[in-house]
Amino acid sequence: MGHTLILACGNPLRGDDAVGWEIAEAVQSASSRADIDIETAHQFAPEMADRISQAAIVIFIDACVTNEPGSVRFERVFPSQSDPGTFTHELNPPALLALAEALYGRSPTRAFALTVGAESLELNEGLSESVRAAIPEAVFTILGYLARQASLPNDVAAAPAVRV
Amino acid sequence: MGQKIVIDPVTRLEGHGKITLQLDDKGEVQEAYFHVTQLRGFEKFCEGRPFYEMPNLMARICGICPVSHLIASAKACDALLAVRIPPIARRLRQMMNLAQIVQSHALSFFYLSSPDLLLGMDSDPAKRNLFGVMQANPELGRGGVRLRQFGQKIIELLGGKRIHPGWVVPGGVNEPLSAAKREQILKMIPEALATTQQTISWFKQNLESYRREIRTFANFPTLFMGLVAHDDRLGFYEGTLRITDSSGKIVADNLDPAQYAAYIGEAVEPYSYMKFPYYKPLGYPDGIYRVGPLARLNIVNRCGSPLADEEFAEFRQLERGAVLSSFHYHYARLIEILFAIERIEEFLNERDILSQHVRATASLNELEGVGVAEAPRGTLIHHYRVDEQGLMTSANLIIATGHNNLAMNRGILQAAKHFVRGAKLQEGMLNRVEAVIRCFDPCLSCSTHAMGQMPLIIELVAADGSQLDQMRRN
């Protein structure tokens, strides 16, 4: 099994938008695994396609305004060019995976988006209570998934994901 | 009855903008306005803060060119301290500024404008993005991503992070360059140079197909302004300001950037939050001038590095005097990328570049300081006043995009008169009007500071305010 790339996106000056960064830091503190690379950024940018293409598993972490505040969702993401948006310098995870394929000929075997419902994205530092309370669940979800993958035989773990 | 066409907001720009085209009774474009609808509060809310916080605070104005603000702000703070920073600190700041030029120019050319240039102004807007570029010319797309990565990586290596690095401080920089980082950057140079040269070659081969755009995209006489280094090279970090006219003649030279208020005035118009700077001796609006890549290549006699100078010589052959078409901002941008990469390599090979002496310390010695640098989009001016405790009493920022405000407005009018016909809106013609602005690569977040989504809404409005037509793309 190759390495895992965790890409956390957010703005620590916009309230709950910092949750991605905080989860990334918590994963880093909680795990001593050498096969996990963690990167925090303000946006998911096209330049990330290079690192994405080299990873076996990619987990995108971000705050989300459509989830219930504090709720954690962990969903499979597939490459898609269908909605790159009015594209400037940021991309959504499906478009970023598609860009990795287009640029480098491969995308990770498995990709996921872990999102946490945000309560407030106003200009301030610090998470709201409900969002902070969701961090342990988010960390447990990520590390639990990676532990299960690590325990699988190599050929199973490396099998490509199937779109359902 | 006169009518108005409104493009709101304009897409593939940094920030929010809106265009209004005023039609006359015959349906011909009579006037054009580029509205910047964001409000910037930075000058106001920094009042009362200690001056040494300014570089980090001002860098937050923009996520694309924070380094430029960091550097202009640090230079203003150097002036408040009245220090001469160590020579290697100056070099390292220059290197970071050039890395910023590369990454920002790569963003502008490859991400924002290459879809128009490669796929055509009339191509399907759904495909006019980086994926469309990837399909049509994968090498070009890949090169753009890699080049931006190159600039960002240097910023990250020098400053510890790609966006909002806090490494540039009043008095110098807070950490010297290590031998390992120098080697890492040097290894990336050949690929970056090759990518840039290939892209310039591709662009030149295709110039003929943009003839109409070259002729009509803000192609008119103006003044040009920018920093020129003391050795007469392109001066991105230091030097004095030079102003030339459309024939290439020097109008004013060796202008002290700290005295900018003596020759630059700032007008305001009710339809925009962005100010309208002008060259004072010619008054407003006759003192219209342009800054940025096109202006910088128009005011110098050489770039100052071998490969860039070869391209520069060819570039200046485009016209007898100054190169006037703003379409050539794209061309100039590519040449500047080449120059920046060559200069970074030159700096890295200097004998003392790993010197540990990279910061001068001092207390507050002056109550007023001005810092000027060339940002990717043009001359950036930070002017601070402080009280005796070092608390900010006022700040004035003249942002690169602002200098071009008059020219952008006039450019939109020129392109709209050529491409917009009657009341029926067509995507291609409106894309051309937007593309004029994209030539300047305006950063509206910088010039006003705001953020948000950027769908495009185009409205055709009659003089009585009733809506006649509307187009929208997300």
Residue whose C-alpha is closest to residue B401's, from B11, B12, B10, B15 = B15
Measured distance CA(B60)–CA(B65) in Å, rounded: 9
List residues bridging with A9 in a β-sheet: A41
Testing the interface with A: which of B131, B142, B191, B454 to mutate, by most A Cβ within 10 A? Answer: B131
What pLDDT band is residue A122 in, cutting at 50, 70 and 90? Answer: confident
Residue A150 has pLDDT above 90, yes or no: no
Residue whose C-alpha is closest to residue B390's, from B368, B358, B417 = B368
Instruction: Spell out, as residue ranges, where chain B has pLDDT lower than 50.
Output: 1, 12-13, 445-456, 473-474
More confident position, B378 or A46: B378
Residue A64 has pLDDT above 60, yes or no: yes
- To the nearest whole Å, the CA of A45 is away from the closest chain B CA by 10
Which is it for strands B29-35 and B18-23: parallel, antiparallel or unpaired?
antiparallel
Residue B455's pLDDT is 40
Testing the interface with B: which of A21, A48, A89 to mutate, by most B Cβ within 10 A? Answer: A89
What is the rounded radius of gyration, in angstroms, for the C-alpha atoms of chain A? 15
Residue B123's pLDDT is 84
Structure confidence by residue, pLDDT tens digits, A12-29: 888 999 999 999 999 999
Give ipTM to 2 decimals: 0.72
Residue B33's pLDDT is 77
Interface of B with A in 13-52 (CB under 8 A): 13-14
Cβ contacts of residue A34 below 8 Å, gap of 6+? none
The answer to whether B457 faces chain A, any CB pair under 8 Å, is: no
- To the nearest whole Å, the CA of A47 is away from the closest chain B CA by 6
Q: Which residue of A49, A89, A102 is in closest CB contact with B111?
A: A89
Contact A124, A133 (CB under 8 A): no
Testing the interface with B: which of A86, A96, A99, A107 to mutate, by most B Cβ within 10 A? Answer: A86
- The pTM for the full model equals 0.86
Residue of A nearest to B115 (CA): A87
Residue B446's pLDDT is 47
Q: From chain A, pick out residues whose CB is under 8 angstroms from the CB of B9.
A: none
Helix or strand (DSSP H, E) at B285 = none
The answer to whether B141 faces chain A, any CB pair under 8 Å, is: yes
Residue B450's pLDDT is 31
Residue of B nearest to A40 (CA): B161
Residue B474's pLDDT is 42
Structure confidence by residue, pLDDT tens digits, A73-102: 999 999 987 765 544 556 789 989 998 998
